[in-house]
């Protein structure tokens, strides 16, 4: 482990992402990445009696899918977080797994915070196998962060649609799979946006900050990567990020710079406003879609930057602005 | 870094806890540890216009106190979490600090989860200086987890009183202060208790599990430690933990086995039921009281085990039991 520049870890013995699983709900199952998910649910209940239990089941199913395929590999640590108050989806999943558990919270940046920490544990010798997971669920998030689902409240076009999905990634010291070579850990960026219906705009400056810092810390230019992937900025946030980076001299084109929140749905036929959001968005697209493309060697090197809007319903009611953060992880095929 | 047994890290180049600060509210200022705090507030508003802003101010003040005394030491990472939904006390403090931020959640185990991760980052070379912090506030916790403060709801004698306090610890690769030599990371233990007014009993089996595992992993007996300190079990939980450990052959006496939730108040004169609780309890007692005793060489080696009850108000309403966890850190003078 070496620290480069201000915010970037470079792993000395790069851990491998040896497996990953993604599970998703019915809307995601109608989107363009449907075939990449390990499991699709017919409805948002997932056979449970509350949406919260359904979200927990999704995270559990993602973890179980990975664990069943890797029964010979005992997990040393489970690192997880989610959007629900007191990260209950994660803690109740951890109750089933019965391994040491590190609870984390970074809102929608949680996926890469978890993957970075898992790689960190493995690189340092503290774990042979670490499992990182996160989840989100449209109905649990809507009712907690916005309005009761039954209201059917209207939304502005810049709002985003919370993805119902979970993803889990298994990091190991050795094995086959892409190497996790580095991570850039974000700091809070808050440009004064207070509208929780415009999270893309709130998170964009944090995404730009972490991507810029990544290139600074490693003295790289964007051509080092096949893809630079953001988590869930949506159309509005993605465009702002591109512009902010351009102002700093980093020019990304639409082929190279993509967003999981834009990839997971077909915005022409699905009513998802500016795109998908939620912890499960980046996690399910990485562990479901991009991991396969890395395994097939279609992609050699990617930077995945998950962004989080760290407000709470209470901080919004108290008229606070939204502190945003972004954490990035480098994967090499 | 080496992993010993199932759950314990032993740091190869033990980082130092070079400084710590604790701030606390008026009730804590009337307790037996009043003189150990760096700053006491006259009321629970701490000069702010909401209790949430007051809690954030407490965490900020604890961090600022440490940072002012260590201006020559640039912080690489801030690791923090708290009880409030979406850990807003921590994220809004991170917004001020403007350094890379890792958000964590372990309810009242957060203090030792953060200190263990800070030591981990420094031991591995990922950081020269890492700051770990947490906080709790009686009125923010009561209104979020139980009843509106104005109800004046009655409480059963086994309930606990949320500490209004914050603590911050500065971990460094070198410098003077106790060494952080190891950490035992807990797994979830849930013995079926669902009453959030009896958290001590819910957390006791997790505390016993981590303490037992710590001795197993390191092949130690209790006489290796001057003190074994739990975070906020209170009278009820502390007694259950002692009994559970006794059943496993680990006998601790009352001089050696203490609880921050019992130390911070005078239970004879203060109406705190079974004792103190909250993230800020263990953090303020460690960084305020025990750190000074280690610095004065009154104590040579301590094990600090912070316990967390990982339920949410929603999981309780949905009749879930309480998943509990405990993380332990070893400090040597």
pLDDT string in tens for chain B (333-residue length): 899 999 999 999 999 999 999 999 999 999 999 999 999 999 999 999 999 999 999 999 999 999 999 999 999 999 999 999 999 999 999 999 999 999 999 999 999 999 999 999 999 999 999 999 999 999 999 999 988 888 888 889 999 999 999 999 999 999 999 999 999 999 999 999 999 899 999 999 999 999 999 999 999 999 999 999 999 999 999 999 999 999 999 999 999 999 999 999 999 999 999 999 999 999 999 999 999 999 999 999 999 999 999 999 999 999 999 999 999 999 999
Is B185 close to A101, i.e. CB distance below 8 A? yes
Confidence of residue A129 (pLDDT cuts 50, 70, 90): very high
Judged by phi (left if over 0) then psi (alpha if -120 to 50, else beta), residue B327 lies in beta
Which residues face B331 on adjacent strands? B180, B302
**Dihedral of alpha carbons B215, B220, B222, B224, sign:** negative
- Can you list the alpha helix ranges (DSSP code H) found in chain A? 26-29, 51-69, 88-97, 110-124, 138-145, 199-218, 234-247, 260-263, 279-284, 291-295, 313-317
pLDDT of residue A146: 87
Is A86 close to B85, i.e. CB distance below 8 A? yes
> Measuring CA to CA, which residue among A104, A68, A100 is closest to residue A86?
A104
Is A86 close to B315, i.e. CB distance below 8 A? yes
pLDDT of residue B120: 97
Q: Which 82-101 residues of chain A touch chain B by CB within 8 A?
A: 83-88, 91-92, 94-95, 98-101
pLDDT of residue B148: 85
A192 in contact with B, Cβ within 8 Å: no
> Token pair of A70, please?
């890797």
How far CA B115 is from CA of A254, B15, B77, B175, in Å, comes to 42, 11, 12, 17
Is B100 close to A53, i.e. CB distance below 8 A? no
Predicted ipTM? 0.97
Is B101 close to A312, i.e. CB distance below 8 A? no
Judged by phi (left if over 0) then psi (alpha if -120 to 50, else beta), residue B104 lies in beta
Is B126 close to A100, i.e. CB distance below 8 A? no
Q: What are phi and psi of A245, to 5 degrees?
A: -70, -40
pLDDT of residue A150: 85
Beta pairing, strands A77-82 & A101-103: parallel
pLDDT of residue A152: 82
Q: Which 111-170 residues of chain A touch chain B by CB within 8 A?
A: 113, 117, 120-121, 123-127
Three-class secondary structure of residue B135 per DSSP: strand
Is B314 close to A52, i.e. CB distance below 8 A? yes
Nearest by CB to residue A127, choosing from B3, B52, B86, is B3
Nearest by CB to residue A312, choosing from B86, B94, B100, is B86
Whether A65 and A39 have beta carbons less than 8 Å apart is answered as yes
Find the farthest-apart pair of alpha carbons in chain B and give their distance in angstroms, rounded.
52
- Separation between Cα atoms, residue B160 and residue B200, nearest integer Å: 8
A6 in contact with B, Cβ within 8 Å: yes
Which residues face B39 on adjacent strands? B23
Q: Work out the burial of residue A191: count CB atoms within 10 Å of its CB; fewer than 13 is exposed, 13-18 middle, 19 or more buried.
A: middle
Nearest by CB to residue A325, choosing from B2, B101, B113, is B101
Average pLDDT over chain A, rounded to an integer = 97
- Which residue is associated with the tokens 């409805």? A43
A22 in contact with B, Cβ within 8 Å: no
Distance from the A188 Cα atom to the nearest Cα atom in chain B, whole angstroms: 5
Confidence of residue A268 (pLDDT cuts 50, 70, 90): very high
Residue numbers in A near B88 (CB within 8 A): 310-312, 314-315, 320
Select from A48, A79, A188 the residue whose CB has the most chain B CBs within 10 Å, as the one to mutate to test that interface.
Answer: A188
Give the number of A-B residue pairs with CB atoms closer than 8 Å: 168
């Amino acid at each position: 482990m070496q620290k480069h520049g201000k915010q970037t870890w470079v792993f000395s013995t790069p851990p491998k992402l040896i497996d990953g699983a993604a599970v998703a709900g019915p809307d995601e199952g109608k989107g363009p990445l449907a075939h990449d998910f390990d499991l699709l649910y017919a409805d948002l209940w997932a056979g449970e009696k509350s949406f919260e239990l359904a979200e927990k089941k999704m995270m559990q199913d993602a973890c179980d899918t990975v664990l069943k395929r890797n029964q010979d590999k005992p997990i040393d640590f489970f690192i997880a977080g989610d959007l629900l108050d007191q990260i209950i989806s994660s803690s109740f999943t951890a109750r089933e797994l019965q391994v040491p558990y590190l609870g984390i919270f970074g809102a929608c940046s949680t996926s890469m915070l978890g993957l970075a920490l898992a790689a960190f544990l493995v690189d340092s010798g503290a774990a042979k196998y670490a499992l990182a997971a996160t989840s989100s669920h449209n109905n649990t998030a809507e009712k907690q962060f916005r309005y009761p689902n039954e209201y059917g409240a209207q939304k502005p076009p810049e709002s985003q649609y919370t993805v119902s999905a979970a993803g889990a990634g298994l990091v190991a010291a050795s094995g086959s799979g892409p190497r996790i070579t580095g991570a850039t850990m974000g700091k809070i960026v808050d440009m004064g946006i207070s509208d929780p219906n415009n999270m893309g705009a709130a998170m964009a400056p944090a995404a730009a900050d972490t991507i810029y810092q990544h290139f600074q810390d490693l003295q790289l230019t964007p051509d080092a990567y096949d893809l630079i992937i953001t988590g869930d900025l949506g159309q509005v946030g993605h465009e702002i990020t591109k512009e902010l980076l351009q102002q700093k001299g980093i020019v990304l084109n639409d082929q190279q710079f993509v967003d999981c929140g834009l990839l997971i749905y077909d915005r022409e036929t699905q009513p998802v406003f500016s795109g998908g959001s939620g912890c499960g968005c980046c996690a399910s697209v990485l562990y479901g879609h991009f991991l396969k493309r890395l395994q097939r060697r279609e992609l050699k090197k990617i930077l995945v930057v998950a962004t989080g809007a760290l407000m709470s319903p209470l901080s919004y009611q108290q008229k606070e602005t939204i502190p945003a953060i972004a954490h990035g992880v480098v994967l090499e095929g």
